[in-house]
C-alpha cells in the first residue's frame, strides 16, 4: 500500500455464498490481495474497516457466507487487487454473487472546490461464481430487476414478460458464444491434456 496520502477511500460491499467445505485458511488466502493491500499480516488483522461503524470482512462458517462491508484507503492500483480477489473467490463460491466497489475521491470537497472541478468518484460491479453460467445468472437477475423496477412506473408487471424474454435471449446468445469459444480451445478427444474451464450448465432462466 502506498505510503503517501492515498487519493481514494474505497468501499467493498457484497455477500458471497461459499462451498460447504471452505474453511478459514482457504478464505484467508483467497482474500490475501485485500488484506495485504491494507498493510495487514493476516485476514484477522486486515478485516477491520477504515470506519468503525462498518462491520468489515466477516466469515460466517455456520452459513458458509462471506460478508464484506469494508473500506480501505488506496489508489487506482487497488483494481488489480480486486481482480486477483475475484479470481480466487471463483474457486470457493457455491453460486454467483455480485460485489459492489465504490471509489470515493478523498481529495474532493464540494464546498472548497470551484465549480469547474470534478470529483473522481467511481463505481464498479464485480461478479464471482463457480462457472461462467453462474456469473451470468447473477448479471441477468440484476438486469431484470433494474429494468422491471424502472418500467413498472409505466406498465403492470404482467405486461413486461416480453421484455424479460428479450433479456433472456441476449444472455442466451452471450452464453452460447462463450461456450463456442471454449469448445474451440479444447484439444480433440483422446488427445490428452486438459481443456479450458467449460461453460457449465446453462443459467436456468436462459432458454
Q: pLDDT (tens digit, 0 to 9) for every residue of the chain, 207 residues total? A: 445 678 999 999 999 999 999 999 999 999 999 999 999 999 999 999 999 999 999 999 999 999 999 999 999 999 999 999 999 999 999 999 999 999 999 877 655 555 556 778 899 999 999 998 899 999 989 888 889 888 988 999 888 888 888 888 888 888 888 777 766 655 554 444 433 344 455 555 654
Question: What does each C-alpha distance from 90 to 19, 31, 107, 170 come to in angstroms?
Answer: 11, 12, 34, 24
CATH architecture of the region 8-130: 2-Layer Sandwich (3.30)
Enumerate residues 6+ apart whose C-beta is below 8 A from 142: 98, 125
DSSP 159: G
d(C-alpha 128, C-alpha 76), whole Å: 21
The residues of the chain that CATH labels 3.30.70 are: 8-130
182 phi and psi, to 5 degrees? -70, -35
Amino acid at each position: 500500500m502506498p505510503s503517501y496520502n492515498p487519493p481514494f477511500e474505497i468501499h467493498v460491499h457484497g455477500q458471497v455464498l461459499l462451498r460447504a467445505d471452505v474453511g478459514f485458511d482457504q478464505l484467508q488466502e483467497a482474500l490475501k490481495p485485500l488484506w495485504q493491500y491494507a498493510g495487514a499480516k493476516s485476514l484477522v488483522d486486515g478485516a477491520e474497516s477504515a470506519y468503525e461503524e462498518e462491520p468489515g470482512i466477516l466469515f460466517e462458517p455456520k452459513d458458509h457466507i462471506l460478508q464484506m462491508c469494508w473500506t480501505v484507503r488506496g489508489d487506482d492500483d487497488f483494481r488489480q487487487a480486486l481482480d486477483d480477489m475475484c479470481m480466487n473467490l471463483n474457486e470457493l463460491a457455491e453460486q454467483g454473487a455480485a460485489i459492489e466497489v465504490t471509489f470515493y475521491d478523498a481529495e474532493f470537497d464540494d464546498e472548497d472546490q470551484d465549480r469547474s472541478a470534478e470529483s473522481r468518484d467511481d463505481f464498479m460491479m464485480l461478479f464471482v461464481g463457480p462457472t461462467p453460467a453462474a456469473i451470468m445468472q447473477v448479471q441477468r437477475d440484476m438486469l431484470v430487476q433494474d429494468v422491471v423496477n424502472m418500467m413498472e412506473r409505466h406498465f403492470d408487471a404482467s405486461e413486461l414478460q416480453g421484455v424479460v424474454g428479450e433479456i433472456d435471449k441476449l444472455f442466451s446468445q452471450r452464453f452460447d458464444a462463450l461456450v463456442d469459444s471454449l469448445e474451440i480451445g479444447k484439444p480433440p478427444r483422446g488427445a490428452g491434456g486438459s481443456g479450458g474451464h467449460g461453460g457449465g450448465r446453462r443459467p436456468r432462466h436462459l432458454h
